């Protein structure tokens, strides 16, 4: 497992000053482009949740769709999409969250979950935790129960997991500084 995690870490590329100065963007496209490693990444997550009776994986637009849908397939769970405003065709619930400058909003279909569904929230990366916190709010509006929030990458120095309490957080890779 340690060897696999080191391989996954080595496949992630740092892009300084993207999308704006001062941000180091963690680019997962080299990881996604490596078939055996992409599969290992999904399998590390699937092994953790295999016996957790996950009904639905919720993926956050857009890289959460890539990780989340592969994970849902592996778990035999349904997949629920959470998108930026104006993209979903049916009636929605909304949740807003603060960004460094301004705020952003996420939407989910009102019929996306059955009541008390066990939901695993998935995204590629947790930074400040604002995005995942909004997803948790949407699950709660729909009457679902969050099993955990799962990420490939955690920027641990930003302490995003504290914003998600009491929901638990799991990440394959942690970065303690930029
Ligand atoms: P946050 O709401 O601050 O936890 O930000 C998480 C969302 O923004 C995720 O959907 C990530 O894909 C994206 N994100 C934030 N920071 C980075 C980063 N340094 N590299 C890549 N993606 C990021």
Percent of the chain with pLDDT over 90: 95
Mean pLDDT to the nearest integer, 4-32: 96
**CATH label, 52-175, candidates 1.10.620.20, 1.10.10.60, 3.40.50.2020, 3.30.930.10:** 3.40.50.2020
Residue with tokens 């990458």: 153
* Sequence spans of domains, the chain: 52-175
Name 94's Cβ contacts closer than 8 Å, sequence gap at least 6: 85, 105, 106, 107, 138
Tell me: the pLDDT tens digits for 158-170? 999 999 999 999 9
What is the position in ligand 1's atom list of the atom closest to the CA of 24? 19
Mean pLDDT over each residue of the chain, to the nearest integer: 97
What is the position in ligand 1's atom list of the atom closest to the CA of 155? 19
Lowest mean pLDDT among 19-23, 52-56, 126-130: 19-23
Three-state DSSP string of 53-95: CCCEEEEECCHHHHHHHHHHHHHCCEEEEEECCCCCCCCEEEE
Report the pocket of ligand 1 as residue ranges, CB < 6 Å: 23-26, 60, 63, 123-131, 160
Residues 110/95, Cβ–Cβ less than 8 Å: no
Task: Please list the active-site residues.
Answer: 63, 100
Mutate to test the pocket of ligand 1, among 31, 83, 125, 135 (most ligand atoms within 8 A of CB): 125
Distance 90 CA to ligand 1 centre (A): 27
Does the pLDDT of residue 15 top 90, yes or no? Answer: yes
Name 147's Cβ contacts closer than 8 Å, sequence gap at least 6: 49, 52, 54, 118, 119, 120
At 1 the pLDDT is 85
């Amino acid at each position: 497992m340690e060897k696999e995690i080191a391989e996954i870490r080595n496949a992630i590329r740092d892009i300084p000053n993207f999308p704006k100065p001062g941000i180091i963007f963690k680019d997962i496209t080299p990881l996604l482009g490596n078939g055996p490693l992409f599969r290992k990444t999904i399998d590390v997550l699937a092994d953790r949740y295999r016996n957790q009776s996950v009904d639905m994986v919720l993926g956050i637009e857009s890289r959460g769709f890539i990780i989340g849908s592969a994970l849902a397939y592996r778990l035999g769970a349904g997949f629920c999409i959470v998108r930026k405003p104006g993209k979903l065709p049916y009636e929605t619930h909304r949740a807003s969250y603060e960004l460094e400058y301004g705020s952003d909003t996420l939407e989910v279909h009102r019929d996306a979950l059955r009541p008390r569904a066990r939901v695993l929230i998935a995204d590629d990366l947790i930074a400040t935790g604002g995005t995942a916190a909004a997803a948790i709010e949407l699950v709660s509006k729909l009457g679902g129960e969050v099993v955990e929030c799962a990420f490939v990458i955690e920027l641990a120095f930003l302490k995003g997991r504290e914003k998600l309490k009491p929901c638990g957080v799991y990440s394959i890779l942690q970065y303690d500084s930029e």
